[in-house]
Structure 1
Amino acid sequence: MSLPKEKAKKLVSSPYAWLVLGVLTLIYISSFVDRQIIAVLAPQIQDELSLSNFQVGILYGTAFSFIYALCGIPMGRLADIYSRKLMIIAGLVVWSLMTVISGFATSLTFLIVARFFVGISESALSPAVYSLLSDYFKPEQRGTVFSIYAAGIFIGIGVSFLVGGGIAESYDWRTSLMAVGAPGLLIATVAWFVIREFPRGITQSSDNQRFDTEKSFGEVVRYIIRKKTVRYHFLGFSFMAFTGYTILGFIGIVLTDIHGAGSLVPQYGWFMMATGLSVMASGKAADWLAQKIAPSYRFVPGIIAALGCLPLYYFGLFAESAMIALVLIGLANMISSSYNGISVAILQYLVKPNMRALASGLYLFVISVVGFGIGPPLTGWLMDTIFTGNYGAAKALMLVFSCCGVLATIFFWMAMQHYDQDEETK
């Protein structure tokens, strides 16, 4: 049940709103710990279950991403209609339990089924959160707020490398899965008492609240994707996700196969933690550029992320030293992944208040299919069949990153050309 509108207005951007943001970020951290842990544990799982690089890509990427993507669209529609709080907490409980259960897996099929359920439950989270945070905070704060939330991605990935990887080294991959899944149940209890549902569109002006509640699901989808800025936005950030998910899926393979330095893999978590800072800085920059130059300049940090990472990826992937490779690839990822907050923040300006969750679901569908579902298995296939030898993995990854960076930049530039006419002002 939503808070009364007058009471909710007093809580917009209040200390309580920041507390809710903190709890939601903690939930997001949990989701990425449970999502990423498979990649961290990939070498151990690969050895015990005799998996190829392609199968690792399927397990890490496709098994999760396609069900996550498919469910994200209806979950977004449900979050526009029903309790966002309930969807967030129910999803948290399910994916935490599924991660714990994964620790008992005896086959690839077992793990894939568990990953399906993790994907379904995690698909309920972000569309509901994006919609909820748009009501908790003022529009001019969205770049900053969404980037703080998005920083949870990299804190979660960092925890999965540092904690999950450390537990796996001390015990085994099964113990690691059980240990990282269990805390989510405690977080769900805290969230139930802290988060409150807000009236939708509470932060919009009275002239900007035409909800079109009579529109059907199909009509709303067509309304969203009819905008050229939205389509170019989806394409550009999909290629950025392609880069991000691919390096996360294979950093362990790079350090282990090329350099024989598997013990360094957990240390990659420190760079993931630091990436949270670059995400927040990018969000601040997007808000500043929008206010000082033009709203369309919110895409500029995306262009910086797409191109600025490429030199560091090149020298890191082809480094002769494992430590230099770790540092340069880690720094490159800090740049290439800095877009994560602004990508969703921009979308909130392009749709009506009661379409935000569905628009977010569509966005997650596209980036999950392209980035998570296609990226790791395609790159794994390139490693297995096209690029062989000691630096074969590096060649495959560099080809993928270069193509994605150039294509993303082209689509961001095109999105900027149509932003003013597509921004939701009515």
Structure 2
Amino acid sequence: MSLPKEKAKKLVSSPYAWLVLGLLTLIYISSFVDRQIIAVLAPQIQQELSLSNFQVGLMYGTAFSLIYAVCGIPMGRLADIYSRKVMIVVGLIVWSLMTVISGFAGSLASLIIARFFVGISESALSPAVYSLLSDYFRPSQRATVFSIYAAGIFIGIGVAFLGGGTIAQAYDWRTALFVVGAPGLIIAAIAWFAIRELPRGITQTNQRFDTEASFKEVVAYILSKKTIRYHFLGFSFLAFTGYTILGFVGIVLKDIHQSADLIPQYGWFMMATGLSVMVSGKIADWLAQKWDASYRFVMGMVAGLACLPLYYMGLFAESATTALVLIGAANVISSSYNGVAAALLQYLVKPNMRALAGGLYLFVISVVGFGIGPPLTGWLMDTIFTGHYGPAKALMLVFSCCGVLGTLCFWKAMQSYEQDEEQD
């Protein structure tokens, strides 16, 4: 049940609000540890279960993203209607349990089934969080706040590489899954008592919006906006790059450089990416205040293009250490857009549509980025780009196309932003 409006207004941008942001970020970290750990453990799993690169991409990407994408839309609608707190906590419990259960898998099929349930439960998180944070903080803070939350993606991935990868090397991939899944149950208990539900639209100065709109009407309203359509498409291209490099950086280090022992060290660059996400959000809010709100899209352009020279030099490097450093540095840039992408949507939809808009966004980037990116790139490696540097050629082709196409989409989104923006 939501707090009374007068009491809730006192919590907006308060120290307690920042505490809730920290807790939600911790939950997001947990979700990405459990989501990414499969890619970190892929070389061990691939060897034990005799999987091809295509099957690794299927297990890591499609098995999770298909159900995650499909469920994200109804989960978003539910979060616009029912308790966001309940959805967040229940989802956390389920995906933590399913990660632990994954450690008992004896085949590709059983791993895929477990990944399906991780996808279902994690699809409840971000749509609910996007809506909740928009009520906890003022509109002028959104890119900064959402970027702090989005930094949890890369801290979680970093923990998966450093912690999960180290545990797997010391023991095995099954033990790593047991260890990374269990802490989520403790975090869920803390979140249940710490997070308070706020009235929707509490930060709006103009709260005249339709609370009885049907699911179909809300979706139609969201997708009717040209800026949102370009937003979805542009950021899905960037997600294509991000999920693909995460899925195959281990394969690059193992197959090209015979240096699988370096894979856990990639986690340090994920930690650095968490910082770049926060910096990107702060710059986006500064650009919006100094010039125009549509300039937040510039950070997407930077993410799509500035990384390409580093990716090229890293993928075709002669030494494993050089490859690790340059690919890691490129990822720090190419994934810096995450918080800005989520924040931008909040300016384009009404308060009672925020979670569903987040669900639609996650649907698109999951299908294109997570669902298509890793298996398509794995197929390119297996069939088109063979030879010693075949993985590097496949990855560079993918990254170049996505960076250019994403930038074009952001430029188009900036042209229509003013007419599509909702007034707070």
What range is the shorter-chain TM-score in? over 0.9
Q: Secondary structure at the match of 2:326?
A: helix
Contact (CA 8 Å) 1:91, 1:125: kept in 2 or not?
yes
Q: Aligned equivalents of 1:210 and 1:60: distance in 2?
A: 43
The equivalent of 2:53 in structure 1 is: 53
Task: Give TM-score, length-normalised by structure 2.
Answer: 1.00
Q: Secondary structure at the match of 1:11?
A: coil
Question: Which residue in the other structure is 2:165 paired with?
Answer: 165
| Pairing 1:128–2:128 present | yes
Question: What is residue 415 of structure 1 aligned with on the other side?
Answer: 413
Match of 1:321 in 2: 319
Q: Check whether the contact 1:224–1:359 (CA below 8 A) recurs between aligned residues.
A: yes
SS at match of 2:10: helix
In structure 2, the partner of 1:381 is: 379
CA positional deviation for 1:214: 2.2
Residue 17 of structure 2 is aligned to residue 17 of structure 1: yes
Runs of 4 or more off by more than 2 Å in structure 1?
none
2:250 corresponds to: 252
**Aligned partners of 1:102 and 1:177 also within 8 Å:** yes
Q: How does 1:169-180 map to 2 (within 5 A)?
A: 169-180=169-180
CA–CA separation in structure 1 for the residues paired with 2:106 and 2:374: 23
One-letter identity of the residue aligned with 1:211: F
Query: Aligned to 1:227, which of 208, 225, 228?
Result: 225
What corresponds to 1:70 in structure 2?
70
Which amino acid is the alignment partner of residue 148 of structure 1?
Answer: I
* Contact in 2 for aligned 1:57/1:377 (Cα 8 Å): yes
Specify the alignment match of 2:28 in structure 1. Answer: 28
Q: Which runs of 5+ in 2 are unaligned?
A: none
Within-5 A mapping of 1:178-189: 178-189=178-189
2:367 to 362, 366, 369: 369
CA RMSD of aligned residues (A): 0.5
Letter in 1 for 2:22: G
CA distance in 2, matches of 1:215, 1:333: 40
Letter of the structure 2 residue corresponding to residue 91 of structure 1: G
Residue 332 of structure 1 corresponds to which residue in structure 2? 330
Decide which of 271, 274, 285 is 1:273's aligned counterpart: 271
CA distance in 1, matches of 2:225, 2:208: 17
On the 8 A contact 1:210/1:352 being kept in 2, the answer is: no
Equivalent runs, 1:401-412 vs 2, <5 Å: 401-412=399-410
Letter of the 2:131 counterpart = S
- Structure 1 residue aligned with 2:148: 148
Paired with 2:260 and 2:209, the residues of 1 have a C-alpha distance of 53
- How big is each residue's C-alpha offset from its partner over 1:298-324, in whole Å with a ceiling of 9 and x where there is no partner? 100110000000000000000001000
How far, CA to CA, are the matches of 1:306 and 1:293 in structure 2?
A: 22
What do the CA deviations read for 1:374-409 (whole angstroms, capped 9, x no partner)?
Answer: 000000000000000010000000000000000000
Q: Partner of 2:6 in structure 1?
A: 6
Identity over aligned residues, as a percent? Answer: 82
Amino acid in structure 2 at the alignment position of 1:380: G
State how far apart, in whole Å, the 2-side matches of 1:265 and 1:174 are: 17
The AA in structure 2 aligned to 1:135 is D
Following TM superposition, by how much is the alpha carbon of 1:215 offset from its aligned partner in structure 2, in angstroms?
1.4
Report deviation, 1:338: 0.2
| C-alpha distance in 2 between matches for 1:294 and 1:130 | 23
Q: Distance in 1 between matches of 2:242 and 2:260?
A: 20
* Correspondence for 1:261: 259
For residues 178-203 of structure 1, what are the alpha-carbon distances to aligned partners after superposition, in whole Å with 9 as ceiling and x for unaligned? 00000000000111111000000000
